[in-house]
Structure 1
Amino acid sequence: MPPGASASVFALEENPREVYLEVTSVLIRLANNVIKNPSDQKYRSIRLANPTVANKLLPAVGAMECLFEMGFKEAHDCLVLPGSSNLENIRAIHDQILVRRNIMVSKNVATSSPTVSNSSPAQIAAIQTTPAQPQLQSSSQPQPSSSSGSSNKAPSSTTTSTSGGNTINQNVHTPQPSQSSKDTLPKPGFLERIISASGIVVESSNKEHLEIAKSYIPLTELETAALEQLRKVQKIIKMEQAEKKEKISEEPSMQELLLLQLLSWFKEKFFTWVNNPPCHFCSGKTKFRRTDSRGNLRVEVYECALCFQETDFPRHTDPLKLLETRCGRCGEWGRCFTYLCLALGWDSRLVIDETDHVWTEVFLTSQSRWVHCDPCENAFDTPLMYELGWKKKLSYILAYSPDDVQDVTWRYSANHKELLKRRTYCTEAQLIEIIMDQRKLRQINLSAARKAYLLKRTLFELVELWKEPSEKDGNYQGRQSGSLAWRIGRGETTAAIRAEPFIWKPTQSEIDKKEMRIQYLSGLDQYRRGPHSTELPLSGWINGVNTVQNIFRKEERDWKMVYLARDEGCNKGTVTWCVDLAGSGLVADTVKIILCSKIFETGQVNVTLCGGDVCVKLPTSKDNPEATISTSDLCGASLIKLTVELSGGNGDAAWQHAQLFRTDLASDNVSLDFQIKMRHVLKVTDRK
């Protein structure tokens, strides 16, 4: 929504205060009915003879102009919204009226009792009806929720009787001046952004659209992977119980394991990050030139450095459209992932950080708490990563769900006192007011049981948010705390759960050629038997090693790099690959190893190649990222082992100072090349 309101919205303010409040209340409900029920024709027609329209809207300055600007057209005795009308126009006027209404109320604080709208929901429903159904709608007709905002105090609620005798709560603003700044208004655009974000998430609750979104998820595949993770966790728990450890790991829920699988799939297979889109004409690199507004869509325009053609990059906010495009930056990532979580039936929130980042929160029913999920980073339950890891100066972080809005800033900061100093866009009372107001409007059509549940859940969350988290509560860049089973359940380590050591043996083709070759491609996380092999690749670094201790595969999503490193807190990590030539009739003749590593500060990467009674060390150093050795010292050996030990480093990041196979994510570079030339075993007669 543009930051400035239209002339029609400003014209409404020429009316007397009571008329203004009455008229804007009616307009908001009319617009909200269409937004909530876009395919229901009765909400697309407004009878001009209706008393509310004739007595309130028609005489009011700007009211009819607002309806026309929304897209309504004159048709005989009513106004009709064509089916081809863009709902963005209605939403824009709806949001502008809400924001201007809040500002008007803030400027003119009522000292007397609040003005109460005389138009009941039933009367509003009666305004909107199809030409074939001119009669009044029953007061039992459900009313859609809307978004609203005010200034300082929680909104009051009065009751109005409908024509059917039912009592319906009316949302009436009764703002009070701020103690600290009676005349200070919110920062321009801040309230607009809150209301606009609220509206987008509300639209995401359409059941038909959620079913479409669910069809994009490979649910069977993800559930199978989650079950495999669960079995691994259960196996570790049994081991801990058998060893009679003091603290036995807890078993994660299937929802949590499935959520982890969804995060991984979304990041690695479904969505793509876009900085500068490639040229649509020649696929060359582009540079940003300008931003255009095309209707209600913001479009970034880029120019090719080679052919000078312009390429558009639309910044879509419609989740269904994002399911088609599957690309963008954090805004698109967060909106689309939140939508998929909602499609799975999980209570989910779109979380928007005012310092320019977007992610998701999902409510884990087994733990009765909201957890942080960042699809851009494939990060789970690491809320302090932005403040402590990225060094962001946080101020406002709001979470939006179809039936709630919450200020969750405090969950993401370990220094509430300093954070509070940066919250200057409005008073805290004003922010609470708009949150309470929108929450009430969102929940207006919910059952009493659902409202009670949400209230209880909110109270528990407020207690949680009140407590200032500590950096010691968990690693903010990637959770390493907790038991092994907990980490396995999150997919952060797999090293300690191998059942059988893997041994590489020559294939018949390799025996015939008397040459064996094993390559590991770190970016793809797979092994292959040489560049021209017809053998299927072996996926997963862990599935090709003989022994491993305190080693895991680290993916740096921000730097788009991947490598093996030792577990944080461990002084040493080791991994061994084993080749067994026994039974082939061959033994080693010469062995060649090319191994990539990366060393920082005082980190150490020690590589040893052993065969028979002989061991040879590979030279590694900061200046030698690609260690190479070709030796015949292992000649005659039938069992060959390559062992790498990672150690050293300084400070809390010591575990990162010795890295193995560091390369770009998705790169097909060979990080380990293990070549063995073989010869026949010498017989006794051959030696004479």
Structure 2
Amino acid sequence: MASLSGISELCENPNDVFLDVSKLLLTYADNILRNPEEEKFRSIRIGNPTFSTRLLPIRGAVRCLFDMGFEEGETHLVFPKTSSVEQLRHIRELIAAERDHRLQGSPSSPPVVNQNTNPTLSQTVPNATPSPPAPEVQQPQSIMSFLSTLQSNFEHVLIYENPDVQEKALSCIPLLQLQDKVQENLLEATTEDPDHVWTEVYSTSQSRWLHCDPCENVCDKPLLYEIGWGKKLSYIIAFSKDEVVDVTWRYSCKHQEVLTRRTKAPESWLRKSLNELNSVSKAFVFTPSEEESKHKLFHLQYNTAKDCYIRVSNNKEQINGWDNGVWSLESVFRKTEMDWKMAYLARIEKSSSARICWKFDCGGFGFKIKNVSVRANSQTFHSGKVTWSLRANDQSVHLDGDTQLHEYDFTGATDLVLEAELTGGEGDSAWQHTQLFRQSLTDERFYPLEIIITMESA
């Protein structure tokens, strides 16, 4: 009898997530059933944005493909000719039955299958695997040891920013052949607790990080360790000179199992610690340049599609990367929806709240603020909430988050902080229900964040 564990996990997702993912799974299955001899329908490229962004992160989605009979190849999930088409059809019918049931307006908790009876379609989805008991978290001494490991690894990658070390490495590298192929900030080291290290390379064309393991001579095969090697994953942490990120979830299709092994620290503590490490490394403050001091004007714009700041008042200086202009942040990342062709800043998945701040300071340069104009656009869904505030010294005002440029009176202030706090939302997709600067990937003219500050001598 075919395994049904994937469907059980899939049914635990929120209704909107289930409907989206089940539609994709049915498409994959139907393509094979309708065209059994067509090779192109029997494989799914792991690097495909639809797979990597809409299926891979969703509980039970990849497991359903394995239950159908797909197997992992070098760069694709493949449905071999030796796999049972009847098994695929069976899984497909179960998913379709649950999808039809939900579309009729009554999402159900998966009932138990009684194997001694002939169940109806509404009974064919197996009982969801019970949630495992909360893992026993280590004592404070072990937690501090874990934090020490995170800090030391974060500091270790900075060794490779040492000019002497770089010069030594460059003497061994065929530099001329590589110079036209490498780009700044494209590499980060990734470590899987406890014994394997690989890298991730940022693809500018796909706007995402790609798994690359030189030891195994493979690229963009994130399920290699869990499915290929049978590794029992727990923590997979990525370190670069700019940030440290928990990337465990993009290397696993068995999220519930992984959670039971993450016992070194509470999840909330881990998120907080990573946020603090990243905040210390960033803390960027805008201060008047020579050109801006001359004209007593600071003008900044940010475009999410290009992921780029334009410092209009400083000869249109370009700053690439949203986080390279941020003063402080907590649980925020830039989300690219390749299927919908949209980009925005959002909360990190599974985080209940997030915060991001930008800061401008002119006090140390002999200036004070005369007036301020700000556009800070945000969108919310369901019960999601974005709270914007603009503050200076003892003054503070709330912003509406619309698309208009609004003027505010902060006369006499010497520094200014723009802050967004993201909270609320519903279900496992709550993080997507609060979005900053959402815009089309083809929209390179509109700037959903814009700050204009005129100054005067103090």
- TM-score, structure 2 as length reference: 0.49
- TM-score, structure 1 as length reference: 0.34
Structure number with greater Rg is: 1
